[in-house]
Amino acid sequence: MVENTLKYSIWDKKNWDTKSDFKIIWEKLFTQSLPMFFTSYSKRSGKKTNSPKTYRIQKTNWNKFWIKQLQLGTFKILKNDLKNGITIFEENIISSKLGRKTWHEALMYRFLGWSYLVYGNLTLAKYFFELSSMIFDFYPDKKIASIESLKSQFFIIRCNIIQGNLAKASDLAEELLLKSKNGASYNFEAFLFIEMGNIYFQMGEFEVAYLYYEKSYNFFDSLENIDEKITLGLKMGKIFIARNDIDQALKVFDKFMNGLTNSSYLTNIYDFIIFFADSGYLSQALDLYYRRIRKIKFKLLVNQLDLLDQFDLIEAELLKKSNQLKDKVKAIQILEQLVNSSYLPFEKQVLALYNLCELHIIEAKISDNNFEAIQKIEVINNKIFNLGKKYSLYSHIIYSKLISTQLSVLRGDLNKSYTFLNEALEISRDNGLNKLEERIEIEKEQLITIVKDRRKLAPFERKIKDLELQRYISEALFDYHSEMSM
């Protein structure tokens, strides 16, 4: 989809610092949703079309200035330069208002919303998507205005899913589906079915999710769209895992792995195998990784060796979940290499840092001398926090606060732990990160329980210390009298 929508775009290698730079950002496009227009399809021929009525990013319909501004803003965001990317979109919104260019203004608001979505400020993201939708309603061509308004609202569904507002996401998806039947492009409905499948999957209603994935799959199958078929096939495979139909899940996985042609499916492979492990099938997931995935990664990425790190991250996450100490040690070794990788996409690098922190926390808990482990955690956690602050990634700042909470518990400073949790809670509430907010509330309750237990044990601890002191004094006096008698 991205290749078609970015026909006139920044993906010229001369615009990039290095070849690897180009590959990293290209990979990022497949793990994040760009607010591009969905490529239109001709229902009769089943082929992609670039009709100006439904596919508006055309060199003939937009002057070079607007195209370059759109490209430059997108370039900045994907290079993790949030501040300058947002500034470009904001300046172009002002120009659009002055020039009374309704279409351009609404589109720039959509990109502004996407920028905040990428960087975790979901409250602002939803606000700008809603604003974009409202402004599109004022576009003279009401049919096109209606379709583009729906596309801006589509990203509000994505925000609600990330926030965990699944009821709101479901209601809006049903509403958009009803409206889209009055003129939206066919593939818009197909992408909407994917989001509805994602909603019901997160709700645990796997059979309903399967029906939506199947509808979308059938559409893309009729167009022979291999990319979306593989994406949906892996999503449907997760539902077979949820049904405990492991044989069928593995058949589906093998079927779509045979059609794998590039690295754009790494996120879906990752989701499939981690869900497999989290569903109680860790040993089978590890076997699948070593038997199938590790073999295909070399065949798949012969000319993209820089992307092998992403496969290694899957291995590290699986080993981290193991109860075997040797597996955890191996996971630490892999992650220590990955956190210094210049090829790993930014989000995955932070994920590697966070996983490494959690492993060192386990190490600190079981170690007699945890000083060295705590020092390692502090260094890694500072990296996560600084990256979060630099790029305004609120979720990463929260993760850093949660690690700081665990560090304070290790040191026995429960008051400081409570402070870090409250700071994390405030950030999550301010930015609409509902899922993280729920997790923090649970951790807060657990911390309160620990504090209460410590208070109950405090008198006994004092008595034990008094008894130890008495024993020490008695032994010292005994030794003294023994020496005197000699």
In this predicted model, what pLDDT tens digit does every residue of 325-365 receive, in sequence order?
Answer: 899 999 999 999 888 877 776 677 888 998 999 899 988 88
CB 314 within 8 A of CB 286: no
**123 close to 431: Cβ distance less than 8 angstroms:** yes
Task: Let me know if 429 is exposed, middle or buried by CB neighbors in 10 A (0-12, 13-18, 19+).
Answer: middle
Task: Give the pLDDT of residue 129.
Answer: 94
Q: If you average pLDDT over residues 281-299, what whole number do you get? A: 82
Percentage with pLDDT > 70 across the chain: 71
Q: Does the structure show a pLDDT above 80 at 169?
A: yes
Q: What is the pLDDT of residue 105?
A: 79
Would you state the pLDDT for residue 75? 79
User: Which of 19-28, 79-88, 382-391 is predicted least confidently?
Assistant: 19-28
Which of 102-106, 168-172, 262-266: highest mean pLDDT? Answer: 168-172
Task: Measure the CA–CA gap between 149 and 127, rounded to whole angstroms.
Answer: 14
State both tokens at 351.
């994920």
Read off the pLDDT band of 31 (50, 70, 90): very low
- Cβ–Cβ < 8 Å for 115, 77: yes
Residue 297 has a pLDDT of 65
319-324: Cβ within 8 A, 24+ apart: 319/286, 320/355, 320/358, 320/359, 321/277, 321/278, 321/282, 322/282, 322/286
Q: Residue ranges of the domains in the chain? A: 1-224, 373-486
pLDDT at 391 (0 to 100): 65
Is the predicted pLDDT of residue 125 greater than 80, yes or no?
yes
Are residues 86 and 115 in contact, defined by beta-carbon separation less than 8 angstroms? yes
Give pLDDT, residue 363: 87
pTM over 0.75: no
Task: Indicate the residue type of 290.
Answer: Y
**Residue 81 CB burial class (10 angstroms; 0-12, 13-18, ≥19):** middle
Average pLDDT over residues 156-185: 83
pLDDT at 102 over 60: yes
* Residue 97, pLDDT above cutoff 90: no
Confidence band of 366 (pLDDT split at 50, 70, 90): confident
Number of separate helices (H) and strands (E) present in the chain: 22, 2
According to the model, what pLDDT value does residue 320 have?
94
- Reply yes or no on domain 1-224 having CATH 1.10.540.10: no
pLDDT winner (highest mean) among 7-21, 48-62, 83-97, 228-242: 228-242
* Start-to-end Cα distance in the chain: 93
Q: Read off the pLDDT band of 186 (50, 70, 90).
A: low
- Amino acid 25: pLDDT: 41
pLDDT at position 241 is 95
Q: Residue 64: pLDDT band by 50, 70, 90 thresholds?
A: low
The three-state secondary structure class of 6 is coil
pLDDT for residue 447: 78
pLDDT at 307 over 70: no
Distance CA 75, CA 1 (A): 18
Residue 53 predicted with pLDDT over 50: no
Query: Quick check: 395 pLDDT over 60?
Result: yes
Of 27-31, 83-87, 125-129, 143-147, give the range with the top mean pLDDT. Answer: 125-129
Residue 207: pLDDT band with limits 50, 70, 90: very high
3-class SS of residue 7:
coil
Q: Largest alpha-carbon pair distance within the chain? A: 110
Mean residue pLDDT across the chain: 75
With contact defined as beta carbons under 8 Å apart, do 199 and 173 qualify? yes
Give the dihedral of Cα atoms 88, 89, 91, 93; nearest 10 deg. 160
The least confident of 21-25, 313-317, 434-438, 462-466 is 21-25
Helices (H), 258-345: 266-278, 282-288, 294-300, 308-321, 325-338
What is the four-CA torsion angle of 73, 75, 80, 81, rounded to 10 degrees? -40
- Of the candidate ranges 72-86, 309-323, 422-436, the one whose mean pLDDT is the lowest: 72-86
CA-nearest of 29, 30, 24, 49 to 39 is 49
